[in-house]
Chain A
Amino acid sequence: MASSNKAPTLEEFRARAALTGLTLTEEDIGHLHKGYVGLLRLMERIPERWAWAAEPPQVFRADE
């Protein structure tokens, strides 16, 4: 994934959480930070660059 997906610190994550519109407790933020960082680590498997041919269809069709 793109370099913008560098894992945020808890402080950076808290600042970002304030912009989401969610009402979050400190405990929520702690759990969500761990979950997000874990997800980002797994997302390193998703390629960064794509050919135009890889654009997804508007409607997902398993029969194409």
Chain B
Amino acid sequence: MTDLTTSDLTTLGIAEAGRLMARGDLTATALTEAFLARIESIDRTLNSYVTVTADIALNAARQADMEMRGGLRRGPMHGIPIGLKDIYETAGIKTTGHSHLKLDYVPAIDAETVRRLKDSGAVILGKLGTHEFANGAMTPDQPFPPVRNPWNTAYQPGGSSSGSGAAIAAALCMGAMGSDTGGSIRNPAGYCATAGIKPTYGLVSRCGIFPLSFSLDTAGPMAWTTEDCALMLDVLAGHDPNDQASARAPKVDYGAAAQRPIKGLRIALARSWYEGPDGKLSDDMAAGMEEAVRVMRDLGAIVEEVTFPDIRDYHICGRVIITTEAHAIHRRDVIERPEKFGYTTRRRFQLGAFLSAEQYISALRFRRKLQQDTRAAMRGYDLVMTANQWGPPEVFEDPAPIFHFLGKPSLSMPFNVTGQPAASVCCGFDAAGLPLSFQLAGRPFDEASVLAAGAAYERATPWRSRRPQL
């Protein structure tokens, strides 16, 4: 067996851990024990987990070891410890949605994505903190303490997949599931310096995941590297007849795609989104973005500025759809048990009651137009590149605004509105040591190009070797 310390084990990549296990140099049990010990030791400062399933994880790890000793190798996720955002239903394990409304809810069956991960041999370490029902606000009246940013616990980790981002960055799991309706994978991935990909709408099943907005919700992987996200996506992608939006897309080897060179790849730079009238990047973020463009060009990609529809168009289109659909989903509870919601969540879910059918339908029509206009702007290009965040995350002491959409437009919303795959990639750190990130988005169902470019960038830069000190 390889002589690895606990710290070495918890900072291994999924691919690397898989290779060690395949060679018999590492067991899933040792790996799982290392993560459980680290969770026990440091998660009290981060609150990334709301439920740790130590016994279940150890049993799954022993099962994986037994299978691998017997010659059964299920794939790259076999024996890999991961966490699940607590909106993913898990058989026999509480699924709270980080809400008082679901505190005692124990589902009978797993979400389709959880079933796929378990079938692949992944080890579930537990359930991760989120914003209540993934709505994008962390307030003190929610049932679990807020997740903290591992790079500086005075800062928010981003959300709503907050626990997923924080736990991966802090080496408390090797990968995690997030969900993304208006940026909830890419936002915490950016603020916590992890990788994360929002797949094309319809690529990954949402069956068994608490919904926020039927027509925008996506489920996707987060991990320390883009390559690891690709390995997770290999397991997750596929048609599910129980999700009405599930697509029948051809099977793709995403792990292999993450190894592809990107010479000749054509990238449309959406600079106007982050240098527009409604917002300006922080100086460090602007410098990080310029440097990221330079690296992509050095890798052989052709990066050219392209004019896309105004960022504010995507922002309001997505916001009207989310506000209306979230109200429809939670209407009964906001009428019958409003006191059970956090004060921000409640008001965000109530607001949809004031929107008319005409306004909702207009937003749907606008989405169609934005899809078409974005596709036209992307003609001749493989990817879109743009900033992922305006600057550093918010400080905990600053109260979160009830209606956050009244501030700067969301940089992540365009790809929720268009349904395209989009990934967050860390591109350095600001002067205060907080992470910077950019986005790469592909054509619908071309996750392969997104993963190839993200992984190539990570291999060419030093950022994956830096971890938060905890």
Given contacts A28-B347, A62-B201, A63-B247, contact A43 B320 (CB under 8 A): yes
Contact status A21-B202, CB under 8 Å? no
Contact status B368-A23, CB under 8 Å? no
Of B204-212, B293-301, B358-366, B377-385, the one contacting chain A is: B358-366
- Partner pick for B354 among A1, A20, A46, CB 8 A cutoff: A20
A20 to B351, CA, bound (A): 10
A5 to B360, CA, bound (A): 12
A5 to B354, CA, bound (A): 11
Give the A-B contact count at a CB cut-off of 8 A: 117
Contact status B247-A61, CB under 8 Å? yes
A51 to B332, CA, bound (A): 35
Tell me what chain A mostly uses at the interface: helix, strand, loop, or mixed: loop
Q: What chain A residues lie within 8 Å of B405 (beta carbons)?
A: 38-39, 42
Per-residue interface assignment for chain B, residues 199 to 232, with 1 indicating a CB less than 8 Å from any chain A CB and 0 otherwise: 0111000000000000100000000000000000
Q: Is B316 on the interface with A (CB-CB < 8 A)?
A: yes
Contact status A42-B319, CB under 8 Å? yes
- Partner pick for A55 among B201, B245, B365, B445, CB 8 A cutoff: B365
**Distance in Å from the Cβ of A3 to the closest Cβ of chain B?**
12
Q: Which of B354, B362, B371: most chain A Cβ within 10 A?
A: B354
How many chain A residues touch the partner (CB < 8 A)? 36
Nearest A-chain residue to B218, judged by Cβ: A62
Per-residue interface assignment for chain A, residues 28 to 56, with 1 indicating a CB less than 8 Å from any chain B CB and 0 otherwise: 10011011101100110111101000111
Of residues 284 to 325 in B, which have CB atoms within 8 Å of A's CB atoms? 310, 312-313, 315-317, 319-320, 323
Contact status A22-B245, CB under 8 Å? no
Q: Is A24 on the interface with B (CB-CB < 8 A)?
A: yes
Q: Is B334 on the interface with A (CB-CB < 8 A)?
A: yes
How many chain B residues touch the partner (CB < 8 A)? 49
Given contacts A22-B335, A22-B350, A46-B317, contact A31 B402 (CB under 8 A): yes
A38 to B356, CA, bound (A): 15
**Distance in Å from the Cβ of A55 to the closest Cβ of chain B?**
7
**Distance in Å from the Cβ of A42 to the closest Cβ of chain B?**
4
Given contacts A32-B347, A62-B247, contact A5 B359 (CB under 8 A): yes
Contact status A43-B350, CB under 8 Å? no
Q: Is B44 on the interface with A (CB-CB < 8 A)?
A: no
Q: Is B113 on the interface with A (CB-CB < 8 A)?
A: no
Given contacts A20-B354, A35-B351, A63-B247, contact A43 B369 (CB under 8 A): no
**Distance in Å from the Cβ of A64 to the closest Cβ of chain B?**
8
Q: Is B75 on the interface with A (CB-CB < 8 A)?
A: no
Contact status B351-A43, CB under 8 Å? no
- Partner pick for A54 among B247, B351, B369, B403, CB 8 A cutoff: B369
10 cross-chain pairs, A with B, having the tightest CB-CB distances, nearest first: A62-B419, A35-B403, A56-B364, A62-B444, A20-B353, A42-B316, A38-B406, A62-B201, A54-B365, A60-B215
> Interface of B with A (CB < 8 Å)?
200-202, 215, 244-245, 247, 249, 310, 312-313, 315-317, 319-320, 323, 334-335, 338, 346-347, 350-351, 353-356, 358-359, 361-369, 371, 402-403, 405-406, 418-420, 444-445
